[in-house]
Amino acid sequence: MISVVIPAYNEEKVVRECLESLKRQDFTGSYEIILADNGSTDTTAQIARDMGVRVVSCTHKGVSYARQTGAEAASGEIVVQADADTVYPTWWLSRVQQGFKAHPRAVAVAGAFIYQEPPWWAGFEYFIRVLGNILTILLLGRPYVISGANFAFYKKSFTLIGGYHHGAYSSDQIDIATRLSQVGKVFYDRRSYGSTSARSVSKPVHVVFFDFLRHLYGFAKNYFTISRGTTKKQSKKIVSISTGNYLKVVIPIFLIGILCYGYFVPASPVFGKVYYKSLTPNKVIALTFDDGPNEPYTSEVLAILEKYQVQATFFQVGYNVQLYPEVSRRMVADGDIIGNHSYSHNANHALSFVSYKDIELAQQTIYAVTGVKPHLYRGPHGKKSPWELEAIKKEGFVDVFWNIATNELSGKSPSVLADQIIKKAQPGGIILLHDGYGTEHNDKNADKSDTVTMLPIIIQSLQAEGYTFVTIPELFNIPAYN
Ligand SMILES: [Zn+2]
């Protein structure tokens, strides 16, 4: 049996939605919902009772006291921490149970949370959270950034460690997870989430930033055991870091380096398979264009391709497809390939947990306009994250990047830029060019006349060198559309 414990103090505005989502669970085992009322003066407790939820009362103010009272009252073998301002997907409890089943050594299963209406910094915060946990799982064997709204543990392990430490820093998150990790494994399932509403989001951004620094400090304090001593000659205190601690500094820096490489370098395979070149020895090469359609340049590119009997792959921005549907339709008619390049071309796309929505919107737009569903995806700005790659793969996309590019915005002349591309050409290569600039149109950035001038030079030179232009699906022998 599972017991879900919700501490609540004056939550009448949000608690109903939370409890309804908990009552809708598809979990087939038995579970109880306990609301630990922390002295509410509004109708919170009454709402819960009316909904048939068991209410226990805890008059000692503080979330860890309420959670303790709830956990003590729980009759389940597993106690799940929830929050009143959070709404849970129907599969949530099933997922929690699966976490324990799949990890027999686990004493606790930690999940994530997302914002119902994500503020602008949510993507960044999410990135820090996940990155922090990836690092601490590698270093300490357990996640560090625990969500109080999505954390489950065995009641017997909880009792063994003496429950919550009320005075401790982050007592229902970092502290409880740290102490549980001393008696078993804390498993992190970042795909399990609840949607948190108003409260945390309504915090101004400097408070969020301060919280982040506070957590970082708390972590550093836990992580580095810095010994203080005094020398006899000098009465100054010195801080010495032992070799073990030195490694503790070097390893994270090394790992952060690898993660940055994976995130920023388009061709890096750190987070999983990406297509950025083919190993074929044949003199074939692929032209790819990003950020279109963007008129009149995209049509000019299409006319050049047609003149030289060359086909290319266009990673299109959904927003732009909506703007120039005729151009996208012409591509499909010409035999050029359309790939998905997100809908809004947001720079932090890969960081954000909700990014898949944007890709899906682009996919729907492309499908509605052209009747094809791209199989190829390229992230905006060539950035990627492990969770983005995972979502992409799950949705049946392949990630396509490039290995031949130049800085088209450097201001150099089109012939110089074309030359740089030609020099980098190699069998099986993928050339990156732009027929647009994000979602901008009719301004200086979106003026792609230089690309239009470069294109015939590139095509003529490489054809003279014996290259044949192919599309991405031809290069890798993969389907163009789903
Ligand atoms: Zn782009």
Q: What tens digit of pLDDT does each residue of 257-316 get?
A: 777 777 777 767 767 778 999 999 999 999 999 999 999 999 999 999 999 999 999 999
Is residue 139 pLDDT above 90, yes or no?
A: no
Q: What pLDDT does 424 receive?
A: 96
Lowest mean pLDDT among 142-151, 226-235, 469-478: 226-235
- What SS3 state is found at 142? coil
Query: Given this model, what pLDDT does residue 236 score?
Result: 39
Strand ranges for 262-403 from DSSP E: 284-292, 313-316, 337-340, 376-377, 398-399
pLDDT at position 237 over 50: no
Residue with tokens 């303790």: 68
What was the pLDDT predicted at 246?
A: 61
232-252: average pLDDT: 52
Amino acid identity of residue 66, one-letter, is: A
- 191 pLDDT more than 70: yes
pLDDT for the residue 170 = 83
Pick from 40-44, 221-225, 252-256, 382-386 the range whose average pLDDT is largest.
40-44
20 near 92, Cβ under 8 Å?
Answer: no
Burial of 203 (0-12, 13-18, 19+ CB in 10 A): middle
Q: Determine the pLDDT at residue 51.
A: 96
Are 365 and 385 contacting, i.e. CB atoms less than 8 angstroms apart?
A: no
Q: How far is CA 61 from CA 7, 13, 46, 67, in A?
A: 11, 20, 19, 11
Helical (H) or strand (E) element with 359: helix 355-370
Backbone angles phi, psi at 305, to 5 degrees: -60, -40
Distances (CA, A) of 339 to 91, 287, 304, 359, 437: 32, 13, 20, 11, 16
Q: What is the pLDDT of residue 21?
A: 96
- Whole-number Å distance, alpha carbon 419 to ligand 1 midpoint, is 22
Lowest mean pLDDT of 96-100, 277-281, 315-319, name the range: 277-281
Name the pLDDT band for 238 (thresholds 50, 70, 90). very low
The residues annotated with a catalytic role in the active site are 290, 434
Average pLDDT over residues 77-98: 95
Nearest to 194 by CA among 102, 110, 79: 110
Per-residue pLDDT band for 241 (boundaries 50, 70, 90) equals: very low
- Residue 230's pLDDT band (cuts 50, 70, 90): very low
What's the mean pLDDT in 428-455?
Answer: 95
How many other CB atoms are there within 10 angstroms of residue 333's CB atom? Answer: 10
Tokens linked to 403: 């290995």
Residue 352 has pLDDT above 50, yes or no: yes
How, if at all, do strands 429-434 and 398-399 pair?
Answer: unpaired
AA letter at 206: H
Among 159, 151, 150, 140, residue whose Cα is nearest residue 177: 151
Please give the average per-residue pLDDT across 338-351, as a whole number. 83
Of residues 220 and 388, more confidently modeled = 388
From ligand 1's centre to the CA of 11, what distance in Å?
44
Q: 433 alpha carbon to ligand 1 midpoint, in Å?
A: 10
The span from the CA of 111 to the CA of 146, in Å, is 7
Neighbours of 138 (CB within 10 A): 11
10 Å CB burial of residue 107 (0-12, 13-18, 19+) is buried
Q: Which of 2-6, 100-104, 132-136, 348-352 is predicted with the least confidence, judged by mean pLDDT? A: 348-352
Tell me, what's the pLDDT at 239?
42
Q: pLDDT by residue (tens digit) across 372-404?
A: 999 999 988 887 777 778 788 888 999 999 999
SS3 255: helix
What is the distance in A from the centroid of ligand 1 to the CA of 436?
Answer: 8
What integer pLDDT is reported at residue 244 of this predicted model? 56
Q: How far is the CA of 277 from the centre of ligand 1 (A)?
A: 18
Kindly indicate the confidence band of residue 128, based on its pLDDT and cuts at 50, 70 and 90: confident
- b/e 242-264 (16+ beta carbons within 10 angstroms → b): eeeeeebeeeeeeeeeebeebbe
Question: How far does residue 256's CA lie from ligand 1's centre (Å)?
Answer: 25
Which of these ranges, 191-205, 275-289, 333-347, 398-412, has the smallest mean pLDDT?
191-205
CA dist 362 and 460 (Å) reads 33
Q: Shortest CA distance to 186 belongs to which of 146, 130, 149?
A: 146
What separation in Å is there between the alpha carbon of 12 and the centre of ligand 1?
A: 45
**Residue 480, Cβ density class (10 Å: 0-12 exposed, 13-18 middle, ≥19 buried):** buried
Is residue 226 predicted with pLDDT exceeding 50? no
Residue 429: which H helix or E strand, with range?
strand 429-434
Q: Per the confidence metrics, is the pTM higher than 0.75?
A: no
Q: Report the C-alpha gap between 113 and 162 in whole angstroms.
A: 27
Over residues 304-330, mean pLDDT = 97
CA of 318 to the centre of ligand 1 (A): 11
Q: What is the pLDDT of residue 205?
A: 61
Question: Is residue 207 classed as helix, strand or coil in its secondary structure?
Answer: helix
C-alpha of residue 114 to centroid of ligand 1, in Å:
26
pLDDT over threshold 90, residue 256: no
Sequence-ordered list of residues with C-beta below 8 angstroms from that of 13, at least 6 positions apart, any chain: none
